[in-house]
Amino acid sequence: MQKIIASLFAAILLMACNNSRQSSSSSIVINPYNYTVVKKVVAENGAVVSAHPLASKVGVEILKAGGNAVDAAIATQLALAVVYPNAGNLGGGGFFVARLANGEQVSIDYREKAPGKAHRDMYIDADGTPRTDKSQDGHLAGGVPGTVFGLFTSCKYTKLPFAKLIQPAIDLAEKGFVITKREASSLNNLQKDLKKYNTIMPVFVKDKWNEGDTLVQTDLANTLKRIKDKGAAGFYEGETARLIVEEMKRGGGIISYEDLKNYNAKPREPHSFMYKGYKIIGMPMPSSGGLLVHQMMKMIENKNIGAMGFHSTAAVQLMTEAARRAYADRAEYMGDADFYKVPVQQISSDVYLQERMKNYDPAKATPSTEIKPRILTGKESEETTHLSVIDKEGNAVSVTTTLNNSYGSRTVIGGAGFFLNDEMDDFSIKPGVPNMYGAIGGEANAIMPGKRMLSSMTPTIVLKDNKPYIVVGTPGGTTIPTQVFQTLVNILEFNMSAEDAVYKPKFHHQWLPDTLHLERGFPTSTKDALIKMGYATRERGAIGRTEIIRVLPNGKFEAVADNRGDDGAEGF
The Cα–Cα gap between 57 and 62 comes to 9
73 close to 471: Cβ distance less than 8 angstroms? no
**Binding of residue 519 to ligand GLY (CB under 6 A):** no
The Cα–Cα gap between 540 and 143 comes to 30
The Cα–Cα gap between 495 and 488 comes to 10
Which is closer to ligand GLY, CB of 67 or CB of 544? Answer: 544
> What burial class does residue 95 get, using C-beta atoms within 10 Å of its C-beta: 0-12 exposed, 13-18 middle, 19+ buried?
buried
Q: Which residue is nearest to ligand GLY (CB)?
A: 455
State which of residues 402, 510, 526, 546 lies at the interface with ligand GLY (CB under 6 A). 402
Which is closer to ligand GLY, CB of 180 or CB of 455? Answer: 455
Q: Which residues make beta-bridge pairs with 461? A: 281, 471
How many residues form the binding site for ligand GLY (CB under 6 A)?
9
**Binding of residue 477 to ligand GLY (CB under 6 A):** yes
Q: Please name the helix (run of DSSP H) or strand (run of DSSP E) that holds residue 529, with its range, or none.
A: helix 524-532
Q: φ, ψ for residue 55 (rounded to 5)?
A: -70, -40
Which is closer to ligand GLY, CB of 173 or CB of 291? Answer: 291
State which of residues 457, 472, 488, 549 lies at the interface with ligand GLY (CB under 6 A). 457
Bond preceding residue 168 cis, omega within 30 of 0? no
Bond preceding residue 449 cis, omega within 30 of 0? no
Minimum Å gap between C-beta 290 and ligand GLY is: 12
Q: Which residues of 253-283 are buried (b: 16+ CB within 10 A; e: fewer)?
A: bbbbebbbbbbbbbebebbbbebeebbbbbb
**Binding of residue 445 to ligand GLY (CB under 6 A):** no
Minimum Å gap between C-beta 477 and ligand GLY is: 5
Residue 359 has, within 13 A of its CA and on its CB side, a CA count of 11
* Residues 380 to 399 in contact with ligand GLY, rule: CB under 6 A: 384
Got the DSSP string for 290-327?
HHHHHHHHHHHGGG-HHHH-TT-HHHHHHHHHHHHHHH
Of 98-106, 243-251, 369-377, 449-457: span binding ligand GLY (CB under 6 A)? 449-457
State which of residues 68, 395, 401, 456 lies at the interface with ligand GLY (CB under 6 A). 456
Which is closer to ligand GLY, CB of 71 or CB of 423? Answer: 423
Q: Per-residue contact track with ligand GLY, 420 to 439, x per CB under 6 A?
A: ---x--x-------------
146 close to 188: Cβ distance less than 8 angstroms? no
Q: Per-residue contact track with ligand GLY, 346 to 385, x per CB under 6 A?
A: --------------------------------------x-
The active-site residue out of 384, 385, 411, 487 is 384
> What burial class does residue 503 get, using C-beta atoms within 10 Å of its C-beta: 0-12 exposed, 13-18 middle, 19+ buried?
middle
Which is closer to ligand GLY, CB of 426 or CB of 570? Answer: 426
Of 324-332, 452-460, 461-469, 497-505: span binding ligand GLY (CB under 6 A)? 452-460
The Cα–Cα gap between 169 and 53 comes to 13
Which is closer to ligand GLY, CB of 217 or CB of 455? Answer: 455
- Residue 411 is among the residues annotated as catalytic for this protein: no
Minimum Å gap between C-beta 384 and ligand GLY is: 5
The Cα–Cα gap between 182 and 540 comes to 19
Catalytic positions: 384
Catalog residues that contact ligand GLY under the rule CB under 6 A. 384, 402, 404, 423, 426, 455-457, 477
